[in-house]
Amino acid sequence: MTSFLEITVRLAVWLLLAPLLPGIINKVKAWVAGRRGPPLLQLYYDLAKLWRKGVVLSTLASPGFLAATAFSWVAVLAAALLLPLGPWGTSLSFRGDVLLLVYLLALARFCTAGAALETGSAFEGMGAAREVSYAVLAEAAIITAVLTLSVQSRSLSLEAMLAPSAGAGAALLAAGLFTVLLAENCRVPFDDPNTHLELTMIHEVMVLDHSGPALAAVLHGAAMKLLLFSALLVQAVLPVGTLPAAAAVGVLFGGVLAVAVGVGLVESLLARYAFRRVPLLLTTAFLLCVFALLVAWKGGAA
């Protein structure tokens, strides 16, 4: 009964708090630009409106179009449930769960790209190709960051890996993971979530044919993924798991808020990079994680 209640509370946290992060980012961007901006809860209003609408499907789309969208959302939620939340850990923890988390995120991307190809649109196929191309470098950085935490904690369990801080390589790991966060969540300078030019979009062009509840699942899944990477970044570089419960809550929520503000500032102060410069930035993120891995390895050897 306790385990069921714990999973229910975790579900509520991920499902209800995730749409708040894009609202915070938009508020920061509006503040920097001197505007009032959309309401903080705008995404909640959008999701409620989309769930009441019908679905318009391409004549070329098979039932796999909606199935892939649903699988993508479920995969992100399952990955989020594997992530421990501060001192409470997770009831789904097991040895090697970090590998499952990486595979679930890859599955979500595969399903989104597959749904884009189902529509038969050349633009959506182009966006899917770009998304998968960037994912090759982004996943290399993620796996290197996972190796760094594994070497430091000598474990393959997320609960053990995220208990201590990243030590001497915390700054390197934070910079690498923050860059990956921007890439994985299609934020500036990798992508612009507010653009409407098909030739320059990546993630947004893949969901042009989504509507109604399907589009709501895409938007909510993207918000959950953003919260997942933010919580992962905070717990990877700060010793949240070793703090008392009250302090851990404050540090975790404060850290996630700081990440959201950081994303908003980056999107306000930087322009989107040209496509040819994106691989160089992702390679830099990979190298930062490699240096953090070397620091953890040498520190453990000492």
Domain boundaries, the chain: 60-295
Residue 99: per-residue pLDDT:
95
Residue 11 identity (one-letter amino acid): L
104's enclosing H/E stretch is helix 97-118
Cβ contacts of 264 within 8 Å, gap of 6 or more: 24, 25, 26, 27, 28, 29, 32
Q: Tell whether the model's pLDDT for residue 145 goes beyond 50.
A: yes
Q: CB of 246 within 8 A of CB of 97? A: no
90's enclosing H/E stretch is none
Residue 241: per-residue pLDDT:
79
Q: pLDDT of 62-99, one tens digit each? A: 999 999 999 999 999 999 999 998 777 787 889 999 99
Residue 1: per-residue pLDDT:
43
Q: pLDDT of 177-235, one tens digit each? A: 999 999 999 999 998 887 767 667 788 889 999 999 999 999 999 999 999 999 999 99
Residue 230 identity (one-letter amino acid): S
Q: pLDDT of 228-257, one tens digit each? A: 999 999 999 998 878 888 898 899 999 999
Confidence band, pLDDT 50/70/90 cuts, at residue 166: low
Residue 163: per-residue pLDDT:
78
Among 288, 294, 283, residue whose Cα is nearest residue 151? 294
Mean pLDDT value across residues 20-45 = 96
Would you say the C-alpha torsion 220, 221, 224, 229 has a positive or negative sign? Answer: negative
Residues constituting the chain:
302
Cα gap 16→214, rounded to integer Å: 18
Helix/strand number for the chain, H first, E second? 12, 0
Confidence band, pLDDT 50/70/90 cuts, at residue 165: low
Q: CB of 290 within 8 A of CB of 162? A: no
Q: What is the dihedral of CA 291, 189, 113, 206, to 10 degrees?
A: 170
Q: CB of 150 within 8 A of CB of 300? A: no
Q: What tokens were used for 294?
A: 């070397």
Task: Give the range among 33-37, 41-45, 46-50 with minimum mean pLDDT.
Answer: 33-37
Q: Tell whether the model's pLDDT for residue 302 goes beyond 50.
A: no
51's enclosing H/E stretch is helix 42-51
Residue 253 identity (one-letter amino acid): F
Cα gap 15→50, rounded to integer Å: 16
Write down the mean pLDDT value for the chain.
Answer: 91
Phi, psi at 89, each rounded to 5°: 60, -145
Among 192, 185, 177, 7, residue whose Cα is nearest residue 85? 7
CA 290 to the chain's CA centroid: 21
Cα gap 168→149, rounded to integer Å: 12
